[in-house]
Structure 1
Amino acid sequence: MLESFRYNDGCVIARSAEAKGLGIGMGAPYYQVREQMRRQGVVARSSNYTLYADISNRVMRVMAEMLPGIEVYSIDEAWGDMTGFADPAELGRSIRNRLAHEIGMPVGVGISTTKTLAKLANWAAKKWKATGGVLDLTDPIRQEKLLRLAPVSEVWGVGHRSAAKLAALKISTAWELAQFDIGTLRKTFGVTMERTSRELRGVSCIGFNEGPPPKEAICSSKMFGARQTELQPIREALAAYVARAAEKLRAQNSLCSTIQVGLQTQLADRNGPRFADAITLALPSPTDDTREILAVAQRGLGQIYRPGYPFSKCSILLMNLSQRGELTPDLFAPKPRHGAARLMAVIDQINRREGRGTVRIGRVPATPVWAMRREMLSQRYTTRWDEIIGVRG
């Protein structure tokens, strides 16, 4: 049985290796590949973010128990500090086995002296079954062997556009990128590509717990599950999106000074009425308080809403971000609500532990009419009692 996941039941956003081999393309509209998937036995599932987040948290907790330090990179990836361990590969196998036994989650483990090399080792560990899912790439000889085999497009930080530009310089493998002139790379691509090349040479340029820089803007937006003509459900959706954006804002310890609210119909529908508008508004003072941001956002939505149009999407964009403490407060700006920081921290903590949306804005209903379509949702068996897996004797 193969699986292909889809967002809002509209397009393919993730594929198993088998589904890829059958030619099911990333981003393909579901209605175009539905019959092909049926013929070939591909099982489609709607996006299940609650389940993904819970499994991710369980994986990270196990890693934190087995390593002196971890740095969570994304929902399905983390760095682990193996400094001082005599046999890192054996530790990697122990982590992998425990995750498989306790959580049922298969993972790949890449080990090396720099983050970029470790990422490449992880790619190889998943690609070649002979590694057993764990590859120790700390030995320089093994490093060179893999670098000569790995396409440059598989190097962390090298996207499709960068890979095309590197190909014009006759750089097609990770080894060729590592050996290329540093000055030329910096002049052509900037300091990030230079740092990547140095990391491939074994020179650590990205420290542990040195994650990506704070985002300069944060956006939260989704297509509605069904088009909305009334203002009330759109206000509900905007409230949910603002809450999510503010959560991301607090996670990077930033404050927001300006927001942009957007609203649009399905612009690709040439037969129906089309409308799109956005409004940019300044906040009274920099804040990360969901309530303060939402109050201004709802005012902006009221200004751009037009009755009668079948709207398919709204969005909130947080802009003009600053790190907490780096700006001098305006003496004439309204003071933050008493206890706002503590309240937001408690809400974020509860939602991380119990699942996103456990504590939510009162305007957002439990089962909104605008929610994205997920008619083929798999069970949220780790977070909901009514969906837990049952075993019959």
Structure 2
Amino acid sequence: MTVFALIDGNSFYCSCERVFDPTLAKRPVIVLSNGDGCAVARTPEAKALGIRMGQPWFQMRDLCRTNKVAVFSSNYALYGDMSARMNEVYRLFSPAIEVYSIDESFLDLSGLGGTDLVAHARELRATVRQWTGIPTCVGLGPTKTLAKLANWLAKHDPERGGVCDFREAGPREAAMARIPVGEVWGVGSASVGKLEALGCRTAADLARLDPYLARQLLTVVGERIVWELRGTSCLPLEEVAPPRKGCAVTRNFAGRVEDLATLQEAVAAHTTRLAEKLRHHGLATDALTVFFHTSTHDAGPQHAASRTVTLPEATNDTLALLRAARATVAAIWREGFRYSKAGVMTMGLIRAEEAPRPLFDGLDRERSARLMGALDAVNARWGRGTLVPASTGLTRAWATRFEHRSPRYTTQLDELPLARA
């Protein structure tokens, strides 16, 4: 019998902060998005205060101050490293792992023979907690959708001790009758209304829905969900991550940007980072989307600008992408607005070595490869941003603020935690 486990970190970003500061153990903690814009992680104590996911920081600043909430800026260097450490532990408990997100992984436990899988899951949780300090929950099921649903119940039912087993049909169906249909993996907010109109209010109701009707209502994804909820596995474990389909770098500004030169500088910095990501994954793009907009929370006129430019050929050359990005900003810029955010995005990525050549090839690929290789080597050796194009700016007054960021305890030598006797 196929058995999947879905394990994830509880309030993962907040738990990472708590690992290195024991005084936060019982204190409400939140982590803010890039630019300290809104809440992206909350502990149960913070949720109890009424802090909502995605709530803007300026709306809850006074509430956090009054209730002594510990507030942190996103520290992705720390969170990414802690995630990698957790996955190393997982590999001791399963031969096959799919890293689904920074705080979630699927494990294939099918080949463990007569092992008591619930006890195995409890040992996994205990080991992760002991070795990394991160609390987790585990869901078990014959399909990935059921494992994820079991994980949800493990979080919300304290009596289960952090582990929920959905392998047996009887107990599973009884539990699913109490789980709202919106908690099923793959059922978005738009789909909930359609399903509730048909009387599907719980996960059990959705499992009983005619698969053909589910396909008509929610496309092939909906049909697949129904079969998975019935215990028929349709989603295999993806041990090798599929190729990226898109890439983006977007940031809020520290203040408001009102002049073209500063906006071009910011977009140039974002484009430089985008190009680094593409080269890191061995990808290239032949289309670039540039956007910037004002904040809906600001008084005054609003404006949002966006344009996609097609490149002569697919590339990951920083300089080629910079030329396209800066020209696009100039073309869609409008005076008289106070911009709060800008970004660059690309879709339809292809492997760099598979990029088609144009009939009239004007790019010296060998020279480009040597230059980009040298650029990446310097930044890898001395730290990101050591060597960058001048168009990305020197002072960067617009740069995203991280006013509450904790040290990068595990990846930055001069920020390692200190122990005093």
Judge same fold: TM > 0.5, yes or no.
yes
Q: Does 1:136 align with 2:165?
A: yes
How far apart in 1 are the matches of 2:90 and 2:111?
Answer: 16
SS in 2 for 1:146: helix
Match of 1:52 among 62, 79, 98: 79
**Could you say which residue in structure 1 is the equivalent of 2:257?**
228
Whether the aligned pair in 2 keeps the contact of 1:221 and 1:314 (CA below 8 Å) is yes
How big is each residue's C-alpha offset from its partner over 1:64-122, in whole Å with a ceiling of 9 and x where there is no partner?
Answer: 34421211111111111223113233332232222111111111111221110110111
SS in 2 for 1:391: coil
How big is each residue's C-alpha offset from its partner over 1:337-381, in whole Å with a ceiling of 9 and x where there is no partner?
Answer: 228679979998999x99994776444579742222221222322
**Could you say which residue in structure 2 is the equivalent of 1:81?**
108
Whether the aligned pair in 1 keeps the contact of 2:181 and 2:201 (CA below 8 Å) is yes
How far apart in 2 are the matches of 1:174 and 1:349?
Answer: 51
The alpha-carbon deviation at position 207 of structure 1 amounts to 0.9
How big is each residue's C-alpha offset from its partner over 1:298-339, in whole Å with a ceiling of 9 and x where there is no partner?
Answer: 232344446775432222121454566777543334456228
**Could you say which residue in structure 2 is the equivalent of 1:15?**
42
**Could you say which residue in structure 2 is the equivalent of 1:162?**
191
TM-score, normalised with respect to structure 1? 0.85
**Could you say which residue in structure 1 is the equivalent of 2:30?**
4
Structure 1 294/19 Cα, relative in aligned 2: closer, same or farther at 3 Å?
same
Which residue identity is paired with 1:3?
V
**Could you say which residue in structure 2 is the equivalent of 1:67?**
94
Whether the aligned pair in 1 keeps the contact of 2:253 and 2:399 (CA below 8 Å) is yes
SS in 2 for 1:33: helix
Structure 1 320/392 Cα, relative in aligned 2: closer, same or farther at 3 Å?
closer
Whether the aligned pair in 2 keeps the contact of 1:267 and 1:275 (CA below 8 Å) is no
Match of 1:191 among 202, 214, 220: 220
**Could you say which residue in structure 2 is the equivalent of 1:300?**
328
Match of 1:331 among 359, 371, 394: 359
Q: Which moved more, 1:157-166 or 1:222-231?
A: 222-231
- What is the RMSD computed on CA atoms of the aligned residues? 3.4
Match of 1:280 among 308, 317, 331: 308
SS in 1 for 2:340: strand
Which residue identity is paired with 2:342?
C
**Could you say which residue in structure 1 is the equivalent of 2:120?**
91
Which residue identity is paired with 1:93?
R
Structure 1 246/178 Cα, relative in aligned 2: closer, same or farther at 3 Å?
farther
Match of 2:413 among 374, 385, 391: 385
Q: Which moved more, 1:262-271 or 1:187-196?
A: 262-271
How far apart in 1 are the matches of 2:105 and 2:393?
Answer: 34
User: Equivalences for 1:171-210 in 2 at 5 Å?
Assistant: 171-209=200-238
The alpha-carbon deviation at position 276 of structure 1 amounts to 4.2
How far apart in 2 are the matches of 1:94 and 1:290?
Answer: 47
User: Aligned residues: percent identity?
Assistant: 38
How far apart in 2 are the matches of 1:82 and 1:347?
Answer: 43
How far apart in 2 are the matches of 1:237 and 1:119?
Answer: 39
How far apart in 2 are the matches of 1:166 and 1:354?
Answer: 53
Structure 1 340/101 Cα, relative in aligned 2: closer, same or farther at 3 Å?
farther
Whether the aligned pair in 2 keeps the contact of 1:228 and 1:312 (CA below 8 Å) is yes
The alpha-carbon deviation at position 256 of structure 1 amounts to 1.8
User: Equivalences for 1:368-383 in 2 at 5 Å?
Assistant: 368-383=396-411
Q: Does 1:109 align with 2:135?
A: no
Whether the aligned pair in 2 keeps the contact of 1:347 and 1:359 (CA below 8 Å) is no
SS in 2 for 1:338: helix
The alpha-carbon deviation at position 5 of structure 1 amounts to 2.0
**Could you say which residue in structure 2 is the equivalent of 1:30?**
57
Q: Does 1:43 align with 2:64?
A: no
SS in 1 for 2:235: coil
How big is each residue's C-alpha offset from its partner over 1:176-213, in whole Å with a ceiling of 9 and x where there is no partner?
Answer: 10111111111111100110110011111111108897
Whether the aligned pair in 2 keeps the contact of 1:217 and 1:319 (CA below 8 Å) is yes
The alpha-carbon deviation at position 29 of structure 1 amounts to 2.6
The alpha-carbon deviation at position 387 of structure 1 amounts to 2.8
How far apart in 1 are the matches of 2:279 and 2:228?
Answer: 31
Whether the aligned pair in 1 keeps the contact of 2:378 and 2:387 (CA below 8 Å) is no
The alpha-carbon deviation at position 40 of structure 1 amounts to 2.8
Structure 1 38/289 Cα, relative in aligned 2: closer, same or farther at 3 Å?
same
The alpha-carbon deviation at position 221 of structure 1 amounts to 1.5
Which consecutive residues of structure 2, in runs of 5 or more, have no partner in the other structure?
1-26
How far apart in 2 are the matches of 1:94 and 1:347?
Answer: 45
How far apart in 2 are the matches of 1:30 and 1:370?
Answer: 19
Structure 1 42/163 Cα, relative in aligned 2: closer, same or farther at 3 Å?
same
SS in 2 for 1:54: helix
How far apart in 2 are the matches of 1:164 and 1:317?
Answer: 31
The alpha-carbon deviation at position 390 of structure 1 amounts to 2.4
The alpha-carbon deviation at position 42 of structure 1 amounts to 2.3
Structure 1 190/339 Cα, relative in aligned 2: closer, same or farther at 3 Å?
farther
Structure 1 195/290 Cα, relative in aligned 2: closer, same or farther at 3 Å?
farther
The number of aligned residues is: 391
How far apart in 2 are the matches of 1:335 and 1:253?
Answer: 18
How big is each residue's C-alpha offset from its partner over 1:140-176, in whole Å with a ceiling of 9 and x where there is no partner?
Answer: 2232232222221111111122112111111111111
**Could you say which residue in structure 1 is the equivalent of 2:18?**
none
Q: Which moved more, 1:259-268 or 1:163-172?
A: 259-268
Whether the aligned pair in 2 keeps the contact of 1:284 and 1:333 (CA below 8 Å) is no
Which residue identity is paired with 1:98?
T
**Could you say which residue in structure 1 is the equivalent of 2:288?**
259
Whether the aligned pair in 1 keeps the contact of 2:194 and 2:217 (CA below 8 Å) is no
Q: Does 1:316 align with 2:344?
A: yes
Structure 1 240/390 Cα, relative in aligned 2: closer, same or farther at 3 Å?
same
TM-score, normalised with respect to structure 2? 0.80
Structure 1 183/295 Cα, relative in aligned 2: closer, same or farther at 3 Å?
same
